[in-house]
Structure 1
Amino acid sequence: MMQIDELIFYNREGDTRPIELRAGKLNVITGDNRTGKSSLINIVRFLLGAKRPHTPRGPIRDSVLWYALRAHVGQTRFFIAREAPSGDDSTSEAMLIIGDVTAPPLEELKANTSRQALRDYLGGLLGIEDNRNVPNLGQTRHALSASFVHSLIYCFQGQGEIANPDILFHRQNREWMRQTIRDTLPYFLGAQGAEDLRRREELAERRRELRRLNQRLRAAESERSAGLDRAGALIAESVDVGLLPEPLALSDLAEARGALADVLSQRAAVIRPVENGGEFDRLRSRRAELAAEVRDIGEQIRALEQFADADNSHAGELSEQHARLASIGLIPEEVDAAHCALCEQPLGELGSSARAALERAVGRSERRLDLARQDTPRIEKARAELFDRQRRARDEIRDADQALNALADQDELVRSREEEINLQSYVRGRIAQYLETSAEVGDRELDELRKDVAAKTKTVDELAESLDVDAVRSRTTSLLRNISRQMTTWAVQLGLEHAEDGVQIDLDRLTIVADTPGAPAYMDRGEIGSGMNWVGYHLTSYLALQRFFIEQQRPVPSFLVLDQPSQAFFPRDRETGGDLDELTDTDRENTRRLYELTFQIVQQLGGRLQVIALDHADFEDEWFAESVVQRWRGGEALIPRTWLTSGNPGSE
């Protein structure tokens, strides 16, 4: 029976804000909006092992350094404290002191355990034994153990849950939570005992062993039938790449494996490298030299031909000039020095010098003509020698090309052989992998596997016959039916819709269903309407579950935190809560009846259930006034005004 004795908040200066709670009583914290009431559920969850407190940005985050609580389970009392993480960060550290202690000062707070160890301790303290929900055969989800975290599902109804017709349980809309509730609730109800768990786990283990054996048997049979085909394909590949000379006619797997082993035992071919790189380079260099020589000779021939053309042209001009002069008698056979060669007039004293000049001019012309005629044979001889050198160089280039091509063909053969050897190496690797990974399964091995499968199948069948896999579900349904009868009684007392027809918790849909004459009416389908009914059925179902857990001594904390049960009647945007004069007589009476029923049930359980209600409502009834432990109005809030640095008094 776990209940909370006190919540404590520490600020950075070491000041504390205690909120004392009464065990086994109805504890009402009433107040205005934005005073911090709705943050308490997440803070309590954080103190009991959650990753972060999920407080809103504002005064709580700005001022609280450590959160703490004092609580007890039976006669065991303990103190838990956890440092507030920065911003939206999480923390795995916690402080746990076992014993009846008062809240230590801030300087003595120091983490000494982890949040998981804290949860394990609290689960053990409650008596949560080793348990495991094993899914039925064919279901894919993993087995799940009910833990302390799962027990808290039945301890909280948040502001967005208690009047929400779409969900019934705390955090039900979280991922995987619906199936988690279905898997763990049978344990908390007591429908799933330790012996049932042991037998179900044994059956699950035997089924896993049987699946593994069947997989081995199928693999062996498949290997047996397909092994020869695989071996034959590898033998065919060996022939294609030259590892075997010809195909083998094989009808037995062992013979085929032996042939493949023989292929591996052969010595792998090795190519000796051909040392022709130096000769190739020499030939290529010599060819380049010859090509350059051919180009040089060609340039010399062209230059010589240009010279010959120019010389012939000059000789022709000289010969033509000489012939024209001779034709007009300017070049006589004998020169008359006394008369002019052009006009034949007497020269007088100039005759001797004119004759000498003319003779010199005629002599030079004749000598030039003779020289031009002598150049032609020499030029022709030089041209012939150059053409001969050019031909020899081209012949040598052709020989070099043939030698280079021969070397290239030799390299191509080497590369082709290398490719063949690479293919052989690839096939040899596949053969080695096949021989290593595929076992040679004989008839004896197959017979042994079949016998093992038959024996395991018999064991599983016998266990399944001795264990009714539907027994847990049947017991869960029966226990929920008993809880639903109590819930129906209280629903009738509250005057909830369809209560007279009988209502119950539907474990498949995780909702409330009313057994109306025409057809079942489901709350999550909108077939049960109005805020009073939604709040009423959430409240009665949780109170009925808690009463069952307590009376059957099940390992669930015996406290229930309700956030704003009256929200169905009070406006959501109000600034000051609790003014019942603003409500209609019907809404006022409905709110009072919800609290009065809760108070009565707590009284009936004689201190074994603690209810903490966070609400706007505030009644003058004596029983309600005695239940109020905190009244946050007129500036009072979770965070004291002296802690604040701004005018905002708190946060909802």
Structure 2
Amino acid sequence: MKFHVESLHLWLASGETRTLSFLPNKVNVITGASHTGKTAILDIFDYCFFASRHRISESIINENTLWYGLKIHVNDKVYTLARRAPSGTTVSSDYYFSSIGEIPEKAPKANIQEPALKVLLGADFGIDQDVRIPFGGQYLQTGSRISLRYFLLFNTISQDIITHSEQFFDKQDQPRSREALPRIFDIAVGIDTVENILKRDKRAQLEKRLARLQKQLVKRDENREAFYGELAETTSRAMSYGLIADNSDAEHAVATLQRMVVERETGPESFVSRRHEEISAELYRVSRKIKGLRKFLGEYTKHKEVLSETADSLKPISSLRSNHADTVRTSVFFEILERLEEGLQEIKTEISKKNPLDSNVGELIKELEGQREQLQGELQALPSSGAIFENEKERYIFIGETKAKLELFAETNGNSSRNFEADIANLEKQIGELTVLSAEERQKHFTSVLDETIQEYISSAKVALGNYGQYRSAFDYKEKKLHLRKPKTAFIENVGSSSNHMFLHLFLFLGLHEIIMANGGQHVAPFLIIDQFSRPYWGDDENGSAKSEQPAEQDRDVNESDVAKVHTALKLLDHFISQANGMGKEFQIILFEHINPKYWEGLENFHLVEIFRDGNALIQGTQASS
């Protein structure tokens, strides 16, 4: 992403316009005395970027200003955005926007609504409108859109936090910003991507649907079990009244009870009578089959007996064949004898066959007899008459209760026809096809790379850190804080002084931006506003002299002086700009300070914007909040 601020504009009530100009790829310094409006510039920047409350000083600055505006370069585009000055503590909803960077000579006129401007700028910051807050909190709801303002947390180090021992990001006293930071951090630094977030969100939705389906499936089965438990009693009563024959099968019992309810208008005896007729008819058919099979079996047995008797009667044929010499023979004797022998052989063969017909018919008769016995038992179970209820009212009450239970079953079992198993399998397949990168592993990798990056800054500034110059970077991912770890131990040191905390803030933000640029980040703009990092050492006097600066004759070691520490911090910023340019990237720093320009002499990437002294201030000829 490319971004830099070209100029800041104040349209004053006097009709004049106050302009401050900045350069890209530079450390742009506004230095000067206190109460000249330096810090107000940071507040104005925040106000123009949709702040819902403001900290611009009412005295001198706000009371003399009609509109505030910025001319910015974003991804080779030039924009001007301006916002009407707040009225007291109430922020304005009036915005002016120019897509070609036009600066009105007189106070602008509102020409765009805030939501539309947010969408327009959000697109340049790579903020997809479909990307939502991944997890909610007390002030940010899950699923709410990610705001451009959340990423601006990476672009400012205000004087309120630059020496803070616990807070490293601005606006952490504001609940929404405090909750937003952990929710957008991974996207901002490149741990996560919009595509991966959308995939993770889709997977979460699919998993939610899957859990809901699985719960419905379990509930359906539980309801069915509960109903069939209730069904047992109803079925038993229906049997005792003779309304159904048996309850051996639950589904069959339901169908029978439903038919009973439908036919309740036909009278109390209709079902019993019809069932009696059905059983009687079936008994008759079964009995006919048994009788026919038994008759067949008897005839078959007689047939075999006749064959056996015939075989016995033909036994003398063998004697005739053996003694044919003693027999009076005719011309056809041997022909007749041969045919008789053939017939005898055929009979013997038929008799000797092992035919399963006997056993098959016997088994079939046995099975039919079992059916007949069951039908007879069912027939005996039916009442001989319809007088099974004390009165018709009792009959209709029972049928009504049964109908209500069946309707309740139909409601709770409404999804019984739905193929939950197929739907669940389909969702599991979709979830399996989504390749979502593990955020946890990438977080560990990022922390390791960030510590390596910051360690280089620690090494370059180790003299200013004194006893902690050899300590190791220890970024706390969960708390979003930078600590120093004693070498070869897990011990986290309490670095104590505000000077060391100032350096930790610089180390962290420079390290974050270096990684963001290396990853081609498109959500965090490559610029940084730093408000008075020299506060731990520098006085507010007009000359900008160091509080601890001593006369030369005292022969104080310059490496331990506050002047040297400030110079180390300035060289750190200068080196960062050079390093960014060496990566082929653009980066802009805007620095508010009290120090004298002589302290950055010789540093190639510094640009003096203005010196707010001797009557020169943000609002010319006045003294305002610093």
The two structures share one fold, judged by TM-score above 0.5: yes
Match of 1:503 in 2: 473
- Structure 1's 627 and 98: CA in aligned 2 closer, same or farther, altered over 3 A? same
The reply on whether 1:608 has 2:586 as its aligned counterpart is: yes
List per-residue Cα deviations over 1:197-256 (Å, max 9, x = no partner): 343233112112113323433443454455689999xxxxxxxxxxxxxxxxx9988999
User: Which residue among 411, 423, 429 is the counterpart of 1:452?
Assistant: 423
Offset of 1:543 from its aligned partner?
Answer: 1.5
**Separation (CA, whole Å) in 2 of partners of 1:435 and 1:83:** 66
In the alignment, the residues of structure 2 paired with residue 529 and residue 433 of structure 1 have an alpha-carbon distance, to the nearest angstrom, of 75
Q: Do residues 38 (structure 1) and 39 (structure 2) align?
A: yes
Which residue of 1 is the match for residue 625 of structure 2? 651
Q: For 1:85-484, what aligned pairs fall within 5 Å after superposition? A: 85-101=86-102, 103-107=103-107, 109-129=108-128, 132=131, 142-143=142-143, 146-175=146-175, 177-225=177-225, 439-441=411-413, 444-445=416-417, 448-457=419-428, 459-460=430-431, 462-463=432-433, 466-468=435-437, 470=438, 472-484=439-451
Inter-partner Cα distance in structure 2 for 1:561 and 1:53: 17
SS in 2 for 1:28: strand
Q: Structure 1 residues 440 and 580, CA, compared in 2 at 3 Å: closer, same or farther?
A: closer
Higher-Rg structure is 1
Pair 459,126 (structure 1): closer, same or farther in 2 beyond 3 Å: closer
CA contact (8 A) 2:95 2:114 kept: yes
1:540 to 497, 501, 507: 507
Give the corresponding residue for 1:620: 598
1:75 aligns with 2:91: no
Residue 507 of structure 1: how far off its partner (Å): 1.4
What is the CA deviation profile of residues 273-311 of structure 1, one whole-angstrom value per residue up to 9, with x for unaligned ones?
xxxxxxxxxxxxxxxxxxxxxxxxxxxxxxxxxxxxxxx
- State how far apart, in whole Å, the 1-side matches of 2:129 and 2:82 are: 27
Give the aligned CA root-mean-square deviation in angstroms: 3.9
Q: Paired residue for 2:365?
A: none
Spell out, residue by residue over 1:98-150, the C-alpha distance to the aligned partner (whole angstroms, 9 max, x if none): 1143x21225x11122223223222222334467478599xx97256654222
Give yes or no for contact 2:538–2:547 (8 Å, CA) kept in 1.
Answer: no
CA distance in 2, matches of 1:443, 1:117: 45
1:258 & 1:91 partners in 2: Cα distance? 73
Pairing 1:486–2:453 present: yes
> 2 CA distance for matches of 1:532 and 1:177?
26
Identity %: 21
From 491, 498, 503, give the equivalent of 1:531. Answer: 498
Out of 564, 570, 588, the residue aligned to residue 595 of structure 1 is 570
Distance 1:43 1:228, change over 3 A: farther
Q: 119-128 or 72-81, which moves further after superposition?
A: 119-128
Q: Which amino acid in the other structure matches residue 454 of structure 2?
A: M
TM-score by length of 1: 0.61
Paired amino acid for 1:615: E
State the SS of the aligned residue for 1:567: coil
Aligned mate of 1:516, from 481, 486, 494: 486
State the secondary structure of the residue aligned to 2:598: coil
CA contact (8 A) 2:134 2:201 kept: no
Distance 1:451 1:570, change over 3 A: same
Deviations 1:312-360 (A, max 9, x none): xxxxxxxxxxxxxxxxxxxxxxxxxxxxxxxxxxxxxxxxxxxxxxxxx
The SS at the match of 1:159 is coil
Deviations 1:454-487 (A, max 9, x none): 5434554x347x545x3x3322332342233222
- Take 2:447 and 2:47, find their aligned partners in 1: how far apart are those partners? 30
| Inter-partner Cα distance in structure 2 for 1:180 and 1:66 | 29
Cα distance in 1, alignment partners of residues 116 and 81 from structure 2? 12
Say if 1:3 and 1:62 are closer, same or farther in 2 by CA, change over 3 A. Answer: same
Compared CA separation, residues 510 and 165, structure 1 to 2 (3 A): same
Amino acid at match of 2:427: K
The 3 A distance-change label for structure 1 pair 131 and 190 is farther
Query: In 2 relative to 1, CA 127–450 (structure 1 residues): closer, same or farther, beyond 3 Å?
Result: closer
CA contact (8 A) 1:159 1:563 kept: yes
Tell me, in whole angstroms, the C-alpha distance in 2 between the residues paired with 1:13 and 1:564: 30
Give the superposition deviation at 1:12: 1.9
Q: CA shift at 1:258, angstroms?
A: 11
Q: Which amino acid aligns with 1:530?
A: S
In the alignment, structure 1 residue 567 sits paired with structure 2 residue 535: yes
Map of 2:30 onto structure 1: 29
Change (3 A) 1:561 1:259: farther
The alpha-carbon deviation at position 179 of structure 1 amounts to 4.9
Stretches of structure 1 that go unaligned for 5 or more consecutive residues are 233-249, 264-427
Aligned to 2:38, what secondary structure does the other structure show? coil
Task: Indicate if the aligned counterparts of 1:134 and 1:201 stay in contact, CA closer than 8 A.
Answer: no
Partner of 1:638: 618
How far has the Cα of 1:45 moved from its partner?
1.3
Shift of 1:21: 1.3
| CA distance in structure 2 between the aligned counterparts of 1:168 and 1:612, rounded to whole angstroms | 18
For the 8 Å contact 1:43–1:55, the answer to whether it is kept is yes
For 1:549 and 1:481, locate their aligned partners in 2 and report how far apart those are by CA, in whole Å. 14
Cα drift, residue 619 of structure 1: 4.1
Structure 1 partner of 2:384: none
Pair 1:601–1:459, CA change in 2 (3 A): closer
Provide the TM-score with structure 2 as the length reference.
Answer: 0.63
- Deviation readout 1:532-586 (Å, 9 max, x if unpaired): 2111011121112223323433112121000110111135xx4647223664661
1:149–1:258 distance in 2 versus 1, CA, 3 Å: farther
1:345-394 deviations in whole A, cap 9, x for unaligned? xxxxxxxxxxxxxxxxxxxxxxxxxxxxxxxxxxxxxxxxxxxxxxxxxx
Aligned pair in 2 of structure 1 residues 146, 548: CA closer, same or farther (>3 Å)?
Answer: farther
Aligned residue for 1:566, secondary structure, equals coil
**Partner secondary structure for residue 5 of structure 2:** strand
- Quick check: 1:254–1:440 contact (8 Å CA) kept in 2? no
Aligned 8 A contact 2:31 2:592 in 1: yes
Question: Any conservation in 2 of the 1:66–1:83 contact (CA below 8 Å)?
Answer: yes
User: Using the alignment, how far apart are the partners of 1:544 and 1:75 within structure 2?
Assistant: 25
Q: Aligned AA for 1:564?
A: Q
Which sits farther off after the overlay, 217-226 or 73-82? 217-226
Q: Distance in 2 between matches of 1:123 and 1:134?
A: 15
Partner amino acid for 1:169?
A: F
**How far apart are residue 163 of structure 1 and its match?**
0.9
Give the AA of the match of 1:579: S
Q: Cα distance 1:98–1:141, how it changes in 2: closer, same or farther (>3 A)? A: closer
What is the SS of the residue equivalent to 1:54? coil
Contact 1:223 1:438 (C-alpha < 8 Å) held by counterparts: no
Query: Which residue is equivalent to 2:48?
Result: 47
Q: CA deviation at 1:180?
A: 2.9
